Structure 1
């Protein structure tokens, strides 16, 4: 067996988890848990309001779990839910003014952390890593239809490896 292949999955998962936990530490003083800041950032990156189903699909959680999270976010005045103009059976979620103001702080903290963690990685190695991860992601998504099936708006890796 190839040792690199065996450790790749756990290493990828552990790296993503450690990165998120570091960002959690920085955002906690703002009153933001990982569930909250991920939801706010997803809403801020979307081209328009999202339905609860779209948010749940993107976050990889069940809708009832999301509803509980949205109740908390709404109670803290981070988001507002409104009846959908296209489908009266569902609600769309909008960032509240309070969230609009904190989004830049979240982005700044994420930017600073990203630079701290990637600072000493040579650009050529980082480019290779981004290319390889993008190929693996594309291969994993190919043919499974999960993003299409659940209505998620998939994030695409940009030129600089950010989405």
Structure 2
């Protein structure tokens, strides 16, 4: 089936992308079970890894799209497992700073290795051109979504 012979279905595209994302997370959840981490655990670890140590807890919550109290419960579990460290912000004692512990860094290494393997497996049938086109499409879509969000807030 080619793009030229396929009817473009704009009405379902975003729904399908959302559904695809949920299914991808299910695959990741299954893969990470062997590491002993759940969706509630691996997502904050990866976000913290990408955002860098020393970020505020509220910034991590915003990145994950979850409420502060929900994140606090998750972080408490990650602290017990010694995967993250939480400290007070010297400039604002009410704020909490987060960092990956050495065990957390090791876990992120295992997680990212599994992700890389799964991504390679999933994307291996697509050409570099197709991947580049999809990447550009997603970047443009993200930009348009941000513009829409800003317009609706304003």
The TM-score with structure 1 as length reference comes to: 0.83
Q: Secondary structure at the match of 1:116?
A: helix
The correspondence for 1:103, drawn from 80, 104, 108, is: 108
Q: Which has the larger radius of gyration?
A: 2
Tell me by how many angstroms 1:122 deviates: 1.8
TM-score by length of 2: 0.87
- Is 1:137 the equivalent of 2:137? no
Say if 2:54 and 2:97, in contact at 8 Å, map to a contact too: yes
| Cα root mean square deviation, aligned | 1.7
Determine the structure 2 residue equivalent to 1:25. 30
Larger RCO (CA within 8 A; separation ≥ 6): 1
- State the match for 2:97 in structure 1: 92
Tell me if structure 1 keeps the 8 A contact 2:86–2:98: yes
Residue equivalent to 1:150: none
Listed as ranges, the gaps of 5+ residues in structure 2 are: 1-6
Whole-angstrom CA distance in 1 between matches of 2:103 and 2:132: 36
State the aligned residue count.
145
Secondary structure in structure 1 of the residue aligned to 2:9: helix
1:47 to 52, 59, 66: 52
Give the Cα–Cα distance (whole angstroms) in 2 for the partners of residues 3 and 122 of structure 1: 21
Match of residue 73 from structure 1: 78
**Aligned counterpart in structure 1 of residue 130 of structure 2, from 125, 130, 133:** 125
Post-superposition offset of 1:48: 3.1
Structure 1 consecutive aligned stretches of length 4 or more whose deviation exceeds 4 Å: none
Distance 1:143 1:12, change over 3 A: closer
* CA deviations over 1:52-106 (Å, ceiling 9, x no partner): 1001100000001101111111111111110012211111111112111121111
Higher helix share: 2
Secondary structure of 2:149 counterpart = coil
The SS at the match of 1:24 is helix
